[in-house]
Every structure is written in structure tokens, then in C-alpha cells.
Structure 1
Amino acid sequence: MARATVIGSGPNGLAAAVALARAGYAVEVLESAESVGGGVRTEQATLPGFVWDVCSAVHPAALASPFLRAFGIRDRIDWIVPEISYAHPLYDGRAAVAWHDIERTADALGADGRAWRALLRPLVRRIDGLVDFTGDALLRVPSDPVTAVRFGLRMLEQGTPLARSVLRTEAGAALLSGVLAHANAPLPSLSGAAAGLLLAAHGHAAGWGYPRGGAQRIADTLVADLEAHGGGVRTGEHVRDLATLDWGDPTQGDLLMLAGSPRLALTHPGIPSRYSRALRAYRYGPAAAKVDFALDGPVPWANELVGRAPTVHVAGTRAEVLESENAVARGTVSDRPYVLAVQPSVLDDTRAPAGQAVLWSYIHVPAGSQLDATELVTRQIERYAPGFRDRVLASRAVPASAREMLNPSEIGGDVFGGAFTIRQAFRRPVLSPTPWRTPMPGVYLASASTPPGPGVSGMAGWHAARTALHDADAPASLEELFA
């Protein structure tokens, strides 16, 4: 039986491991941390009974992922799909709300309702074609070219100053700007538009779901399937140099899957100089500074609807969102930063003791920043939830400079596996129709630094495994693996 060694137990590493184990490989996953999951880990912290997601908390790409759908993730885990995908508090107690139902969202936006429908309804209706186009390498012919062209045109519109002419009300402009800012890129920009439009479409399609009990459920479910097919995971195994790793014999069909930063491939003794130069040219981007809050009750939002939304973009007007994101691009942090906040306990009573609540949050910061964001986040939330500060029982700050210790693939605190730019959408991390394949025999890249990039979908791991199986003359489809 051929062996497969997977380095990294995040969702992509585990997706590759599950696929290869089901295809007949003897699979071993090596994880540097003491627990499995990488970007989908959950732990108790701050105070007893408060349960936190270490990295990713809400998963817009998960329920639409072809790999996770074939795996049956919705049937294996108790998913919460909120009625409100995300909310954006405004001043004077108002708020803009993206309901799961696109018609309800548009109706609430008044004068911008027609524009919201025109912008997103065609993408929502063809969500499978959109997921196929954005979920693979871009150097190929898409299965749904009409949707790909439509998405490209909308991206050009929203990624330039033309966007100001589309959504003109304060609520509509802020609601879309908040989701575009997820890209941690200058705004307006093509990359921000691409990421935001995809996320907004997911919000009206399968929804912005998350597992009851925490993101760890995703990792645990994948590990259970891996073990059921003969594979296993070893934690506390931090591989820093491939030259010291006995991963098998590629001439006998053994595989090595790298589900972390491509920088690890640079330590392979047989790496060609041209490929080495290409990997060294790959760039990481701005970072995230995280703050977890344990609260004695729900966040006291001035607007009741915001209190019902698990995901909240705390950012003010469109102008304030742009100022915050462009400040990070200039190497600074705004006094009123864009805060991505998640309050899972509004719908999941397993996250905090009865009557109490958790709030997960982060702001964007320059790479390697040592900023403790606690006060910035607290002040920003207080603007829309007076009395929030008094609800805090405990908090924990994780500056960008410390994120790499939690997850070695987050270079400098970059949670996306590489700067999210249009250039690197094509060169991720190299320009190739099959960027998961390396020139070293039997070695493949299987992380968010390969297409489709960030997001809890498992698709980068699946593409890597599929490429390896094809190279071994053992082509497999998702239908065959999960029959």
C-alpha cells in the first residue's frame, strides 16, 4: 500500500487526507499543535465554560463546497444557518441587514433594493457555476462561462470608483462595503470586490453557517472519517525541514502533501532553482489582530436586529470602511477600525454559561503588528452598543505577531495564506493550471496558498489529492470517493 504523509491538519490537509485514504493510501497527518484542526480549532479560554474558535468562526464557503457537500458535512454536523447572514450597525440606532432571503434584504434597503437584486440575484441563482469558477485554478475554461463573465463584470464595477453609482443610500453602501472588507485589501479594489461579491452571494444562497459547538466539529468529523479508512493524525509534530522527514519513497507511489505555507517546500533538498525563485516571490499580506470577549450577557446593541445576527460588521459608513482598510494598506491602523465580530452564542447555547455570551472579533493590521486591539475594538463596539464595556467579564488579545505560533501557516498574522490580490489569484503560489503540483516527485501543495485560496471549503486539499491521484494514473471523482 502506498503511503501519503500530510503536513498540517487544517481543513485542507484533512480534506486531502480523507480523499487519499478513501482512494487506498495509508495516510498519516502530522500536526504541529497539540490538537487537530489548524484554522478550525475550538477551545475553552478566558473563563470556565466560555468556548472560542481559535481562528475561523463562521464558514460561508463550507455549505457550498463541492468537497464538503460530497463528504456530507451538513448531515454529519449540526449546522446553524442564521436567518440574518450579517448585520451592519449604523449611527442613531439604525442598521443594515443582509437576510438569508435576498428579497427580504432588498425590500429593507428601500431605494437601493433594486440595485441589490440586480447585483447579487443572478449570482445567487447560478451559485454552483460561481463556486465552480472561483473554487479552482483560474487558468481554465469555466463550466458556466455566462456566470463567470457576469461575475467579472460585477467585480470590475464594484472594484472601481464606479461602485459609488450603484448603491447610493447609506445603508446599502455600508452593507456591501462591510462584506467587501473581508478581503483585507485596499478599497475599492478588484480583489476586494471578488471576495466580497462571492461572500455576499453565499449569504443569500447556502448561508453563512457555523457548527453548533464550534469549528472544531469540522476537523473532528474529518478525522473520524480518516480513521475509519485506516489513516491517523500525530499531533505535536512540527516539521520545519523536509530534509529531515522520512515521508516515503516517491518511486513507490508515496506522496507528501504540504497543507501549510509553501515556504516549507523551499527546504526540500531537490527543489529546482526556478521553482524556488517562484515560491520566494509569493507575497503574504496584512494581518489580523484578534480579541475574544467573555460577557455577562448579550452585546447591548442599539438595534435589535444586530443582536440577532451571528456576524456583525462594526464599521460605520462606507467612507469609514474604506478609510480603515486603506489605512492598513498604508501600514497604519485607523482610530475607527473595521471590526469583524462574531457572536455565536446568540444561536448556540453551548458557547457560554446560561445567560452569558461570547464575542469573537478581529481588526485588520499590518503584517507582524504587535498591537493589542482590545481597547480599539471595545471603543468601536461601544459606539453602536452603549454599555458593552460594562458587560465584559474577561478578554484575551492575540496580536498579529503571535498568530504564527497558533498556526504556522499564518505568516506574519496573514490569515489568508497569502496577499489577496488579483495577481496572486492567478499566481497562487505559482502560475500554472495545476498549481498544487510541484516539480519534486510525489510532493504537492494543499493549503490556502493554492486555489481557491482562503475559506473553510477543503477544496485546496481536494484539488491537491485529485492531482496526485491523476498523476498516479488513479483518477478519482468526488462521486467515486463518497459513493
Structure 2
Amino acid sequence: MGADAVVVGSGPNGLMAAVMLARAGREVLLLEAAERFGGGLRSAELTLPGHVHDLGATVMAMALASPAFRELDLKGVEFAHPPVVAAHPLDGQPAVLVHRDVRRTAEGLGRDGAAWTATVGAAVRAGLPLVELLLKPLGPWPARPMTFARAARFGLGAALPATTFARGAFRTERARALIAGMSAHSMLDLRAPISAGYGLTLAVLAHLVGWPVVRGGSQVLADALVAELRSLGGEAVTGHRVRRLSELDAPIVVLDVTPRQLLAMADLPGGYRRRLERYRYGPGVFKLDWALDGPVPWRDPAVASAGTVHLGGTLEEIALSEAEASAGRVSPRPYVLLVQPYAADPTRGGHTLWAYCHVPHGSRADVTDLVEAQIERYAPGFRDRVLARHAMGPAELEAADPNLVGGDIGGGLASLAQFARRPVWSPAPWRTPLPGVFLCSSSTPPGPGVHGMGGWQAARLALRHR
């Protein structure tokens, strides 16, 4: 195709790889099968005209913390922060609130405030160098002995199941529920090793950089990356699906795809193919978007100021819900992750809202009523505010973005085994056995999230290869 490098797929990792290669002077061609760039960074009017909804990612903590995004310093992207980072309502008592300030958050946890400061607060004091270490699990690392020491202390708790960590570190229902809600972002059974690590990382990010949204919708971030690529002389094309690698003719090919797509696209060496075939995908999600005639009528008014809300009750309730999804069953009282973009960004055409719950991989169950019942539990009268709704189960999500295999928005099971081999065990898992071909999706380290680090690592290896 006449380019020095071809990037297939325009999710955040593919976009990052394309920009990094173009900045290094390569002639880059970006190919996207969909009609709009972005993958999980797309926005659309899903419910009513003028109401902007994000199809995938909305909350952008990882983007602010990512070394790759901080290096880019993109223009035209504004991150909007809600007054409260996150809220966790509980029955019969005030909601637990997460603020940017560690001390203020700890005060809301009562007798567990000191424990929050000693665990999450200690990691926050380590600052962004610790987060960089987590986002570059296989290096390259800066020579910072103190950061490694702090990471080792952080890792002792992070390696535990969330249930074990919560019960060992905290005494109150409030603090245990809070860490459960954070850890359930992992889509793991909370009794599984390292599930606490995901919750602790998100808690640290809440205090270090916040959990903002992109003003105007996540599509703005994707479009800014495409604009940066084009300003560097790169070409970006939508509506072009690559089915086989033999269609491409470039010394560097970077693929923002998961193992299942790569298996279909290329004739791979037998050993590598067998390892990819063993790659496991996780539970799916069922996502709902709403257009409302006003804000959600939360029983505790403080929740209205939160950008993200975790609904599911106590540690025990959330752990049961996540265990059922991991075991292939639909929970009758699912953990619900809800985002109120209007708490930070009033430019999206009114009160737009989205939420999802975890369901078995590839599930075809319609759980709209279950999700809305969880919202009604903490916001009586919510359904009366609904002007329109839009539902996407695993099949619809995968149709919108083939990387969401079976509705798995994480690019693969986030288990301990696949943390170490994602998608295969290798000191450089972004490199494939095919000369000049690299993987960069969330199926590579450091995994899911809008951080661009998979693309950053793949581009770095590709440039070294050339």
C-alpha cells in the first residue's frame, strides 16, 4: 500500500501506535473497519437527537496517568472533572464518597479512615512513578529504587483477592463495600487473586488524577488523535476491513486486534497459534444508555455530584454477583457500574446516563429490568425520569467493535495467569513471530483501559525492529 507502517484498528492503542510511528518519521496508514474512528472511544446519539452517549469508555483516569498520553500533550481535548470522583450508595446510611483528597475520603470512612490512608494513601504518596510502573509491567523502567520499594509494598495487597484484602484491611461495611465496588471493575470473581490490585489501582488514580470525562464525548479524544496523525502526514481511512494480513504490504504492521482476530487473519507458526488458541476471554457486559428529563433522583443527594456510581450494596452482595457472572449465571441483583457524565460535562445535550452490569460471556439475556431495579433501589422514581433508553448486550457490543469478544470489554480475562501471559508469555508480548508484525490491543500488557500503552510499546518495538 506504499506506506512504511500500516496500523489496523483505531482503538486507543491503535491510534497511539499510529501517532508514535508518525512522530518517528514513518509514513503511516491507519485502517479502520467501522465508519468512525475510535473503537471504544466512539460517541453517538443513541437515544434522542442531541443526546451524546459514549459507546464505550467514558471515564478517563488512565489517559491522564498514562506516560504515552502525557508525552503526546494533545491539543483540543478538555478533561472535565465531577465534583465527587465516585459514590457508593448503601441501604439505610449515607453513601460512601470518594474525593480527590485522600483525607476527605478517609473522614467519610469513620474508623476505617486511618486504614484507607495507610493503604491507598501510601500508594498515592508514591505518585505517578508508581502508576507508570503498573502501566509498564514489562518495562522499560526508570532507575528509581524508591519507586520499586513502594511498588513491592503495594503489590503485597494488590496480589490478594479483593474479598481477602477488604476483610483484612478494613473493619466497617462502608470501607469494604467501597473496595469491592472498585475491584469489580476487573470483571473477575472477587475471590480471585489480584482482583484487589485493580480496585487499589483505581482508588489511587482517583486521588492522583481523578476520574474525568472528555468534554463533548470520548469521540473528541479519538478525533484529536486522528487529527494529530494527519498533521504528521499520516493517512487514516474508515470503512476498510482487513481480513487477511496478505492484503497488506508494509515493513511494519501493527494490529489493534485480539487473539481471535489474529488467528483468523494470519497463518501463524504452530506453537504460537496453539498458545493464542488457549487465550481466555472474560464475562461480558450488558450496557444501557438513557436520556432523562432531569438528574437521577438519588435518595442521598450527595450521589448526584459523582461522575461514577457503584451500585450493588455490601462486599458480600457484590462478591456474589461477580461470582455468578464468572460462573456463567445471570445475577438477580447484579453489581451495576453507572456513569453520570452530566455531573462533569453539561455539553452532551441534557441528562445522558449509562450503566452496565456483568453477564456471562456471550449471554443473550435482557437484564434491563435487573439493572433498573438496582438503580431504583437507591434512586426511587428513576424510571419516571426516562425519556428513552438504548440497550446493548454482548452480541450488539461485539457487532459494534469486534474486539469486544462475547461482550468482554477488557480484551480478555484479567486473571493472574493472563496478567503474566497476555496474550502469550514473552518478554515482549507485543511482537508476533511474523516479521514486522506487532500486536497492540488490550489483549497485550498492561491490559484494558484508555492508556494507549499497548500501542506505545508496539510502536517502540517496531521502530527498534526497523
TM-score normalised by structure 1 residue count:
0.92
What is the deviation of 1:142? 7.6
Consecutive aligned runs of 4 or more in structure 1 exceeding 6 Å deviation: 139-142
Matched, 1:300 2:297: yes
Give the structure 1 partner of residue 43 of structure 2.
Answer: 42
Deviation at 1:149, TM superposition (A): 0.6
Judged with a 3 Å threshold, the aligned counterparts in structure 2 of structure 1 residues 162 and 420 are, in CA distance, closer, same or farther, namely: closer
- Partner of 1:148, secondary structure, is helix
Q: Cα 1:247–1:45, aligned 2, differ >3 Å: closer, same or farther?
A: same
- 2:270: which partner in 1? 273
Q: Does 1:184 align with 2:187?
A: yes
Aligned residue in 1 for 2:196 = 193
User: Is 1:325 the counterpart of 2:319 in the alignment?
Assistant: no
**Structure 1, 285-294 or 259-268: larger mean CA deviation:** 259-268
The structural deviation recorded for 1:37 is: 0.4
1:173 maps to which residue?
176
Cα distance in 2 between the residues matched to 1:261 and 1:238: 15
In the TM superposition, residue 275 of structure 1 has moved relative to its aligned partner by 0.9
The within-5 A match list for 1:42-441 is 42-73=43-74, 76-92=76-92, 94-138=94-138, 143=143, 144-157=147-160, 159=162, 161-243=164-246, 245-248=247-250, 254-267=251-264, 269-353=266-350, 357-441=351-435
Instruction: Give, in whole Å, the separation in 2 of the partners of 1:229 and 1:33.
Output: 23
User: CA shift at 1:137, angstroms?
Assistant: 3.8
In 1, Cα distance between equivalents of 2:142 and 2:274: 30
- Separation (CA, whole Å) in 2 of partners of 1:138 and 1:190: 20
Give unpaired runs (5+ residues) of structure 2: none
TM-score (norm 2): 0.96
**Structure 1 match to 2:5:** 4
Q: Is the 8 A contact 2:66 2:132 kept in 1?
A: no
8 Å Cα contact 1:137/1:426 also seen in 2 = no
Counterparts of 2:162 and 2:372, CA distance in 1: 30
Alpha-carbon separation, structure 2, partners of 1:429 and 1:137: 14
Do the aligned partners of residues 328 and 270 (structure 1) sit closer, same or farther apart at CA in structure 2, a change above 3 Å counting? closer
Corresponding residue for residue 444 of structure 1: 438
CA deviations 1:75-114 (Å, max 9, x no partner) are: 5411112332110011125200111111100011110100
Question: Can you give the 5+ residue segments of structure 1 that lack an aligned partner in the other structure?
Answer: 249-253, 473-483
CA distance in 2, matches of 1:237, 1:283: 28
Q: CA RMSD in A?
A: 1.6
Q: Deviations over 1:152-196 (max 9, x none)?
A: 111245545353132121211111110010001001322311111
Q: 1:406 to 1:269 in 2, by over 3 A?
A: closer
State the SS of the aligned residue for 2:296.
Answer: coil
| Partner-residue secondary structure (3-state), 1:290 | strand
CA distance in 1 between counterparts of 2:78 and 2:149 reads 35
Amino acid at match of 2:442: A
**Deviations 1:343-385 (Å, cap 9, x if unpaired)?**
10122111123xxx11111000011011222211111100100
The one-letter amino acid of 1:80's match is: A
| SS of match in other structure, 2:328 | coil
AA in 2 matched with 1:17: A
For residues 102-137 of structure 1, the C-alpha deviation after alignment (integer angstroms, 9 at most, x for no partner) is 110001111010011111112111132322222124
CA–CA distance in 1 between the matches of 2:62 and 2:401?
20
Distance 2:439 2:56 in 1: 21
> 1:12/1:198 Cα in 2 relative to 1: closer, same or farther (>3 Å)?
same
Q: Answer with 461-470 or 148-157: which moved more.
A: 148-157
Question: Contact conserved, 2:66 with 2:452, CA < 8 A, in 1?
Answer: yes
- Cα distance in 2, alignment partners of residues 268 and 50 from structure 1: 37
Give the drift of 1:306: 0.5
1:461 to 445, 450, 455: 455
Question: Secondary structure of the equivalent of 2:310?
Answer: strand
Deviation string 1:276-310 (CA, Å, 9 cap, x unpaired) is 11111111111111011111100000111110001
Number of equivalent positions: 462
Q: Specify whether residues 390 and 236 from structure 1 end up closer, same or farther in structure 2 by C-alpha distance, changes over 3 A only.
A: same
Instruction: Specify the SS of the correspondent of 2:53.
Output: strand
Kept in 2, the 8 Å contact 1:183–1:191? The answer is: no
Superposition deviation, residue 31 in structure 1: 0.8
* Structure 2 partner of 1:477: none
The one-letter code sitting in structure 1 at the alignment partner of 2:358 is H
Compute the displacement of 1:151 (Å). Answer: 1.7
State how far apart, in whole Å, the 2-side matches of 1:147 and 1:133 are.
10
Deviation (angstroms), 1:138:
3.9
